[in-house]
A = this chain, B = another copy of it.
Amino acid sequence: MISAETRGVFAIAPTPFMPGGALDVASLGRMTERYAGYGVDGLTILGIMGEAQKLEPEESLAVVREVVAHAGSLPVVVGVSAPGFAAMKRLSNAAMEMGAAGVMMTPPAAMRTDDQIAGWFAQAVAQIGTDVPFVLQDHPTATGVVMSTNVIRRVVEENPSCVMLKHEDWPGLEKISTIRRWQKQGDMRDLSILCGNGALFLDLEMGRGADGAMTGYAFPEMLRRVVDLAPRDRDAAQDIFDAHLPLLRYEHQPGVGLAVRKRILARRGFIAHADLRAPDAPCSEAACAEIDYLLERLAARDPGCGL
Residues of A in contact with B (beta carbons under 8 Å apart): 51, 53-57, 59, 83-87, 90, 109, 112-116, 119-120, 123, 127, 146-148, 150-151, 170-171, 173-174, 177, 200-201, 203-204, 207-208, 238, 241-242, 245-246, 249-250, 253-257, 277-279, 284, 286-287, 290, 297
Which of the residues B51, B151, B256, B286 comes within 8 Å of A114, measured between beta carbons? Answer: B151
Residues of B within 8 A of A203 (CB): 246
Known: A148-B116, A249-B245, A255-B171. A123 touches B86 (CB 8 A): no
Q: Is the CB of B148 within 8 A of A114?
A: yes
Which residues from B are CB-within-8-Å of A238? 246, 297
Q: Which residues of B sit under 8 angstroms from A171, Cβ to Cβ?
A: 253-257
Tell me how many chains of this kind the complex includes.
4
Known: A114-B148, A146-B113. A56 touches B57 (CB 8 A): yes
* Residue from B84, B250, B297 within 8 A of A55 (CB atoms): B84
Please tell me if the beta carbons of A277 and B86 are within 8 angstroms of each other in the complex. yes
A90 with B56, Cβ < 8 A, contacts A279-B120, A287-B173 known: yes
The answer to whether A249 and B200 touch across the interface, beta carbons within 8 angstroms, is yes
| Distance in angstroms between the alpha carbons of A48 and B31 in the assembled complex | 38
Alpha-carbon separation in the docked complex, A286 to B180 (Å): 13
Contact present for B286 and A83 (CB under 8 Å): no
Is the pair B56, A86 in contact by a Cβ cutoff of 8 Å?
Answer: yes
Q: Are A150 and B115 in contact (CB under 8 A)?
A: yes
